[in-house]
Amino acid sequence: MLCGYLEDEGFFSTAAEDGRAMWRCLREVEVDLILLDVVMPGEDGLALARELRKKRSLPIIMLTGKGEMVDRVVGLEVGADDYIVKPFYLREVLARIRTVLRRCAPAAVQAEATPPLGHHEETDCVAFDKWTFDLVKRELRAKDGSLLPLTTGEFDLLSAFVRNPNRVLSRDQLMDSVRGRDWTPYDRSIDTLVGRLRKKIEADPSQPKLIKTVRGIGYTFVERLKSV
């Protein structure tokens, strides 16, 4: 269930039933983070965490039982980056994964993700892919001149992207750019809004070429803009 939930949130996840399967997975797949249960069949999760920390620099989040305070302390001491107490809500796991990935991201990515949103250039109208976007008239037009209506939220979101092309934007930054909305912790509305915008401007929304997901952080608009 957890793997399926993370897949729905844009993560590629793989389950390993024991330590041997975990090491095999690490050899075969590029991994960004490990969610490690303290209690595993025939395994000591803390010992695995200690061994992982010696061999790899991957972020580790430990899963522990409600009363296992000693395991939590030892887990942090052996190098875990965070811990989650069972039972847990899936949204809590997602939030902690994103926080740890953001905290452990390379300095260059963090530098891109944290500054306030800016303006790419002083222009009122830009062209990208098959679209022309007029920020003053608040219009998005196709090559044939036809107008594609945008909601206020979609316009604000696209404005943030075209003003910051090829830059990683966190979900918090994008939330701040969409005006007139009340956001709550773990709010997925920004992801829904991105999905709606993709359906309008992407040739294949299931394989987006313009708005790319940056796992654990947010999104980036990968397109060269031209002033019109």
Domain that includes residue 40, residue range: 2-104
> Does residue 29 form part of some domain?
yes
- With respect to residue 113, please indicate whether it lies within any of the assigned structural domains: no
Task: Outline where DSSP puts E strands in 54-200.
Answer: 60-64, 82-85, 125-128, 131-134, 139-142, 168-170
pLDDT greater than 80 at residue 69: no
Domain C-terminal end among 69, 104, 139:
104
Average pLDDT of the segment spanning 146-153: 88
Same domain, 9 and 41: yes
CATH number, domain with residue 66? 3.40.50.2300
Span 25-47, average pLDDT:
82
Mean pLDDT along residues 135-164: 91
In this predicted structure, the answer to whether residue 178 has a pLDDT above a threshold of 70 is yes
Same structural domain for residues 98 and 135? Answer: no
pLDDT tens-place string over residues 193-222: 899 999 999 999 999 999 999 887 889 999
What six digits make up the tokens of 5? 């939930």
- Which of 104, 138, 171 is at the close of a domain? 104
Both tokens of 23, joined, read 């090491």
145 lies in the same domain as 213: yes
Residue 161 maps to a domain? yes
Residues 204, 134, single domain; the answer is: yes
Q: Please check whether residues 95 and 135 belong to one and the same domain.
A: no
Same domain, 65 and 158: no
- If DSSP codes are grouped into helix, strand and coil, which group holds residue 220? strand
One domain, residues 132 and 207: yes
User: Looking at residue 214, which CATH number applies to its domain?
Assistant: 1.10.10.10
Residue 45 has pLDDT above 90, yes or no: no
Contacts of 52 (CB under 8 A, 6+ apart): 34, 36, 58, 60, 79
Residues 133 and 210 in one domain: yes
Q: Is residue 112 part of a domain?
A: no
Q: Which two tokens stand for residue 68?
A: 């296992």
On whether residue 80 sits in a domain, the answer given is yes
Whether residues 92 and 179 fall in one domain? no
Specify whether 160 is located in the same domain as 211.
yes
- Taking the C-alpha atoms of residue 100 and residue 104, their distance in angstroms, rounded to an integer, is 6
pTM of the model: 0.51
Question: Is a pLDDT exceeding 90 seen at residue 37?
Answer: no
- Examine the domain organization and report whether 66 and 136 are in the same domain: no
Q: How many domains does the chain have?
A: 2
Instruction: Check whether 137 has a pLDDT greater than 60.
Output: yes
Same domain, 99 and 19: yes
Mean pLDDT within 5-21: 84
In tens, the pLDDT along 85-129 reads 888 888 888 888 888 887 766 544 444 444 455 554 456 899 999
Q: With respect to residue 117, please indicate whether it lies within any of the assigned structural domains.
A: no
CA distances from 161 to 2, 90, 139, 215 (A): 31, 29, 15, 17
